[in-house]
Amino acid sequence: MDRLERVTRAAREAGGTAIALALDVTDPASIDTFWRRAEADLGDIDTLISNAGRATLGPLIECSDADLAADVSVNLLSHLWLVKRALPTMMERRSGDLVFIGSDVAVRPKPDLAAYTACKAGLEALARSLAMETHGSGIRTMLARLGATATEFGADLSDARRAEAVALWQRWGLHLSLNVVTAQRTARCIADALAIPAHEGGVVLFELLPTPAAS
C-alpha cells in the first residue's frame, strides 16, 4: 500500500483525483469491498481496467497444482469476478467501458507458459462473449493485446532463467526482438482508445508490440 499511496499523492499533485484501496482479485468478498469503497469515494465507476496477471514459467509437467490454480485464478477468474461486480450499475446507467489487458500469447502461444497462455486466450473469448451479452446496453468491451512490456511482471525471475526462456521462445520463432514497450506508452494507447466515443466503436481490440530497432 505504501507504493500505491505514493502514486496517489503524485496523481493528486498533478491535478488528478486518486485513492488507494487494498484489493485481492482472487477473493470475491475483497472485490465487493473494494468496489463499494471506490463508489463511496469517487461516485459511479464508468471504466474498469482489469489488469491482474501472474505467470508460472516452466514446462507444464513441472508446475505445481497450486501454481496452476493461482495462474487460473488471477489470469481468468479474477476478470470474471470483477466484471460481474461492475456490470449491474453500468447496465443501470446504460454506459461504461470494460477494458481487459491481454497478451499476444493468446494468438502466438509460447512454450513454458501453458497456463498463462490458456488464460489469455480465454480472456479474449470472455471479452467477445461479454460484448454480445451487453450489446445495445451502452457498455463497450475493449481488449489490449500486449507484447513484451516494461513492467515488474516477471521481475522475480533471475537473469539466467529469463535468458533461458527467451532462447527457447526464439527457437520457435517467437520473441525475436528484445525491445519492450514502455508502460507509459501502453497507458496512453488505452487512454486514446477510451477517448473514442462509445457509439463509434463496439468491440475494440488493439495490439501493441515492440518494434525492432532499425539496423
* Residue 185, CA atoms < 13 Å, CB-side half-sphere: 14
Class of domain 45-208: alpha beta
Asked if the model's pLDDT at residue 201 lies above 70, the reply is no
Domain edges within the chain: 1-43, 45-208
User: What is the value of pTM for the model shown?
Assistant: 0.91
124 contact partners, CB below 8 Å, separation of at least 6:
100, 102, 106, 143, 145, 205
Asked if the model's pLDDT at residue 2 lies above 90, the reply is no
Rounded to 5 degrees, φ, ψ at 99 are -115, 120
Kindly report, residue by residue over 17-26, the tens digit of the pLDDT: 899 999 999 9
Kindly report, residue by residue over 69-124, the tens digit of the pLDDT: 999 999 999 999 999 999 999 999 999 999 999 999 999 999 999 999 999 999 99
